[in-house]
Amino acid sequence: MIIVTGGAGFIGSAIVWQLNQMGRSDIVVVDSLGSSEKWRNLTPLKFADYLEKDDFMQLVIDDQVQDYLNIDEQGIEAIIHMGACSATTELDARYLLHNNFEYTKQLALFAQRCDARFIYASSAATYGDGDSGFRDDEAELDSLRPLNMYGYSKQLFDQWAARQGLLDKIVGLKFFNVFGPNEYHKGDMSSLVIKAYHQILSTGKIGLFRSYRQEYADGEQMRDFVYVKDVVDMALYFLDKPEINGIYNIGSDGANSWNSLAAAIFAALEREVNIEYIDMPEHLKEKYQYYTCSDVSKLRATGYAGRQTSLTAAVRDYVVNYLVPNKHLGD
């Protein structure tokens, strides 16, 4: 049995989809559906059971997970922990600490007790403004300075796991700017691709933030944009490799400008590029990352030789095969 937390969310549901492609349906999805539309991500997918996250955590605390699922002590093969509040604008530190830090600690310890593979989502937000670089080196964890509370909640767990000596037993994944199908429910936290798609349909243009640094022209701020299909390929690479552990960057190993991303979206829609540069909200100016770029050499050094879809090809696949027909992964 594989447990996927956040399994109805963006990356989590994509992981369930990829497991289905691998012939796996012995999956327990854990999430908190609430009143969002993310339940729609689950409808094409195959899995054995669904649990709300609070109910699942109570089972963990009571040591009743195996009994509830009617499996033996060795029945949990892996816990893939993608569940978290991923809003970089969330200001409630108490909520983030409980949801992202404490919850992850409990699951990591539970995974150790039942000898299950534990793969969890860290974040590139832990790198802050990037002045300290983007190296996925556990020895440099304490030098990182996240720019927001979300990033710090992820940083806290990475540091805790290092102090507990767990990083040689578990895998942390630092996701960069992920985009692709199944992010429809994310609202303000969704990628520019889906936002721009709707902007183009309604106005014929895309709005990008102006730059407030001389070294970057408007729209030339850089991001490591990575397609969700590539992300889940990298994440599941670790599933049956218990000898490979630690923290790894999950990105495209390259940076592209917002202008380049916008151009790829217009190209997918076969329209002329039409960009309008807009003022950045004041509350974002001091927390805005002008450049992010993953270094995935550590991942490659383990033997990973998986796909890296080009930005143009990834955007076209997303727009043409999912956004235009309004489809989810698995439809």
Say if CB 259 and CB 208 are below 8 A apart: yes
Backbone phi, psi, residue 179, to 5°? -140, 160
19-38 in b/e burial notation, b at 16+ Cβ within 10 A?
bbeeebeebbbbbbeeeeeb
Neighbours of 179 (CB within 10 A): 22
Residues 6+ apart with CB under 8 A from 240: none
- By residue count, the chain amounts to 331
Active-site residue list: 150, 186
Residues 6+ apart with CB under 8 A from 199: 205, 206, 207
DSSP characters over 2-15: EEEETTTSHHHHHH
Which is nearest to 248 in space by CA: 297, 292, 299? 299
Structure token pair of residue 126: 């832990």
- Residue matched to tokens 């440099």: 140
